[in-house]
Amino acid sequence: PFLENVVQHPDFLTGKYDTSFIDNTKELFEFPKRKDRGTKLLTYIGQTIVNGHPGLPKGKKPTFAKPRVPVTSVKQAYPEGTKQLLEQQGPKGLVEWIKGQQRLLLTDTTFRDAHQSLLATRVRTYDLLQISEATGKLAPDLFSLEMWGGATFDTSMRFLNEDPWERLHLLRERIPNILFQMLLRGANAVGYANYPDNVIYKFVQLSADAGIDVFRIFDSLNWIEGMRLAIDAVGQSGKIAEAAICYTGDILDPNRQKYSLKYYVDLAKELEKAGAHILCIKDMAGLLKPYAAYELIRALKQEVGIPIHLHTHDTSGNQLATLVKAYEAGVDIVDGALSSMSGMTSQPSLNGLVAALQGMDRETGLDLKNLQKLSDYWEDVRPYYAGFESGMKSPSSEIYIHEMPGGQYTNLHQQAKGVGLGDRWEEVKEAYHTVNLMFGDIVKVTPSSKVVGDMALFMVQNNLTEADVYEKGDHLDFPESVVQFFQGYLGQPPGGFPEELRRIVLKGRDYFTCRAGELLPPVNFDKVKQELEEKVGRSVNDYDIMSYIMYPKVFLDKEKISGEYGDISVLETPTFFYGLRLGEEIAVDIEQGKTLIVKLISVGALTPDGNRTIYFELNGQPREVTVRDLS
């Protein structure tokens, strides 16, 4: 602070000083008082009380029931699970083990896709940690927990001010026995754009080191060239490469043969050849109907030798039937979510599936009573996030028309509200369908789904029909993501791009047909480290550097907020979203053995300069903070 004061002093800046400048200029020694952790936390709570939480209606803090955390004995050891199998037998051994299993294996997506799809990805590490030990002890027979990647990486930094790597580390500590699975967007890693090849390698290595075992890899256009590198990187890391075919269209519809059974079988064979340990059918929108699932899995079981893992979303309400038909056709592993976090845009209910297969020759072996306990916890926690629910109250077979991925539905809805199109959501969905056809009927999954979404919002916002786009397109400034899509930054769609629309969108700009990674220069990690340390004024590790490379602005914003409020991940969720009620008292464990007792006493009146003073008690002592009222 002293040096800062010197170099910012007006006399110093204008050069009007001599050697007595420092001795005679007393204010150089007046340092801004660094806020302690308690004050920072009170400032966050005060600011939430006054201004609310972004994206949530401001108002009275609702009352919530205390979540039912199942009681497990600390002394009870974690039963051995698939994590130990991988450690002992390596990826090849694990694959042989899967093939030798009589039972149907299960992946629980509650920690990732379920809340990405139902609650706009907002579930906080705090709530995951409360149930982690119980999950490891009560559901040790799961094949894996999908708990990281996809949109959680960016959202945890952007909206929750959390470090995604820390989430991974902490969960790994508390769940040492079940395989951890992540969703990796091929050459887009956990971002929305292609990254240079050395970034993909490094990202995979860091994730493997931090605790990821199974990497579900997909390309948003099913372009195999976009997946090879990630498959190789996972292979080198000694972990499991689960390569995905993204399912779109309907193999049983004779009028929709762009994505036929043969198309998927050929793609699956290529992925097996590319080195995948497991094949995933990634039905991100829930379009795989029960009888189509049977045909597809039966064909794949005949044509490929690696295990098959099915992922779907229950938006139509049909997907438990799809899982049962997949079971009949011999699928090896399927995804579900705990029942209170299942259904609709999320995965089908794990509990329901376990019950449905009881007594069958390949029953799952999971304990329904234990699954119920885990589901009860999530039933209690889900209301914290009510403000992020989509409002969808029942299944909808409209999904077969708009084909929007489950993980996108709530997020695009939020995005539409954000640009003032909340009332025109029906039109947005319709435009989404139109845009897909204009783009040549493409696979829609992050980030290609985001491009379709951006274009749909653009058309609704500007009141453009399809015909308008072709007629007035030369004068329209298309969203950046759409331009990049047509340039080839996301890869190449099956059947290529529609020529006419590409010409209109690109307006003479270049496009390419090779991998974007081949064109992008490798990142110099040492240089980035130096640049980042200068920006944040502290030493950074490889994980910070990777977060910054993926999301530079989001990372820096998060640093700034951490500087102001400290570590707000220690707050329980109701307070994080809604602050405190008058007279309410909470205990905050800021580190092991150190607890702050915070009580809200009163909220002061608005001052002429637009501030409010908030009066608290901190560990019994009066404390006040002043925050700006933004209303």
Contact residues for Zn ion, defined by CB under 5 A: 113, 284
Interface with ligand 3PY, residue 550, by CB under 6 A: no
What residues have CB less than 8 Å from 26, skipping those under 6 apart?
none
- Closest contact distance (angstroms) between CB of 313 and Zn ion is 6
- Helix segments in 329-405, DSSP class H: 350-356, 368-381, 399-402
- Of 539, 619, 626, nearest in space to 586 by CA: 619
Query: Which residue in 114, 120, 160, 183 binds ligand 3PY (CB under 6 A)?
Result: 183
Q: State which residue, 208 or 443, has the beta carbon closest to ligand 3PY.
A: 443
Q: State which residue, 151 or 603, has the beta carbon closest to ligand 3PY.
A: 151
The end-to-end CA distance of the chain, in Å, is: 33
- Closest contact distance (angstroms) between CB of 116 and ligand 3PY is 6
Q: The tokens of 74 are what?
A: 């600390």
Q: Which of residues 106-145 bind ligand 3PY (CB under 6 A)?
A: 113, 116
Residue with tokens 């806020």: 35
Interface with ligand 3PY, residue 151, by CB under 6 A: yes
600's enclosing H/E stretch is strand 594-603
Alpha carbon separation from 367 to 310, 331, 350, 364, 537 (Å, rounded): 21, 21, 11, 9, 50
Give how many residues touch ligand 3PY by CB under 6 A.
11
Q: Which of residues 421-480 bind ligand 3PY (CB under 6 A)?
A: 445-446
- Closest contact distance (angstroms) between CB of 243 and ligand 3PY is 14
Q: Which does 125 bind (CB under 5 to 8 A by kind): Zn ion, ligand 3PY, none?
A: none
Q: Which does 540 bind (CB under 5 to 8 A by kind): Zn ion, ligand 3PY, none?
A: none
37's enclosing H/E stretch is helix 37-51
- Closest contact distance (angstroms) between CB of 373 and ligand 3PY is 27
Q: State which residue, 407 or 498, has the beta carbon closest to ligand 3PY.
A: 407
How deeply is 500 buried, as exposed, middle or buried, from its count of CB atoms within 10 A (0-12, 13-18, 19+)? exposed
In the complex, residue closest to Zn ion by CB: 113
Q: The tokens of 122 are what?
A: 């907002």
Interface with ligand 3PY, residue 185, by CB under 6 A: yes
d(CA 202, CA 220): 21
Q: State which residue, 40 or 282, has the beta carbon closest to Zn ion.
A: 282
Taking the CA atoms of the chain, what radius of gyration do you get in angstroms?
26
446's enclosing H/E stretch is none
List, in sequence order, every beta strand (DSSP E) within 232-323.
Answer: 240-246, 278-283, 308-312
Q: Which does 233 bind (CB under 5 to 8 A by kind): ligand 3PY, Zn ion, none?
A: none
Q: Which does 488 bind (CB under 5 to 8 A by kind): Zn ion, ligand 3PY, none?
A: none
Q: Which of residues 248-287 bind ligand 3PY (CB under 6 A)?
A: 284
Strand 611-618's sheet: what is its strand order?
Answer: 585-591, 594-603, 611-618, 621-628
- Closest contact distance (angstroms) between CB of 524 and Zn ion is 35
390-422 burial, b for 16+ CB within 10 Å, e for fewer?
Answer: beeeebbeebbebbbbbbbbbbbbbbbeeeebe
Q: Which does 151 bind (CB under 5 to 8 A by kind): Zn ion, ligand 3PY, none?
A: ligand 3PY
Q: Which does 309 bind (CB under 5 to 8 A by kind): Zn ion, ligand 3PY, none?
A: none
What residues have CB less than 8 Å from 130, skipping those under 6 apart?
67, 69, 377, 381
Q: State which residue, 152 or 575, has the beta carbon closest to ligand 3PY.
A: 152
- Closest contact distance (angstroms) between CB of 406 and Zn ion is 6
Q: State which residue, 43 or 144, has the beta carbon closest to Zn ion.
A: 144
Q: Which does 186 bind (CB under 5 to 8 A by kind): ligand 3PY, Zn ion, none?
A: none
SS3 178: coil
Q: State which residue, 404 or 571, has the beta carbon closest to ligand 3PY.
A: 404
- Closest contact distance (angstroms) between CB of 494 and ligand 3PY is 18
Interface with ligand 3PY, residue 150, by CB under 6 A: yes
- Closest contact distance (angstroms) between CB of 265 and ligand 3PY is 22
Q: Which does 185 bind (CB under 5 to 8 A by kind): Zn ion, ligand 3PY, none?
A: ligand 3PY
d(CA 228, CA 472): 39
In the complex, residue closest to ligand 3PY by CB: 150
Q: State which residue, 429 or 599, has the beta carbon closest to ligand 3PY.
A: 429
How many CA atoms lie within 13 Å of 511's alpha carbon, on the beta-carbon side?
Answer: 22
- Determine how many CB atoms are found less than 10 A away from the CB of residue 548: 22
- Of 442, 391, 415, 58, nearest in space to 248 by CA: 442
Q: State which residue, 212 or 460, has the beta carbon closest to Zn ion.
A: 212
Q: Which does 446 bind (CB under 5 to 8 A by kind): ligand 3PY, Zn ion, none?
A: ligand 3PY
- Closest contact distance (angstroms) between CB of 199 and ligand 3PY is 17
Q: Which does 183 bind (CB under 5 to 8 A by kind): Zn ion, ligand 3PY, none?
A: ligand 3PY
Q: Which does 235 bind (CB under 5 to 8 A by kind): ligand 3PY, Zn ion, none?
A: none
Please provide residue 611's backbone torsions phi and psi, each rounded to the nearest 5 degrees.
-110, 165
How many CA atoms lie within 13 Å of 134's alpha carbon, on the beta-carbon side?
Answer: 20
Interface with ligand 3PY, residue 310, by CB under 6 A: no
Query: Which residue in 67, 136, 343, 407 binds ligand 3PY (CB under 6 A)?
Result: 407
- Residues in contact with ligand 3PY by CB under 6 A are 113, 116, 150-151, 183, 185, 284, 405, 407, 445-446
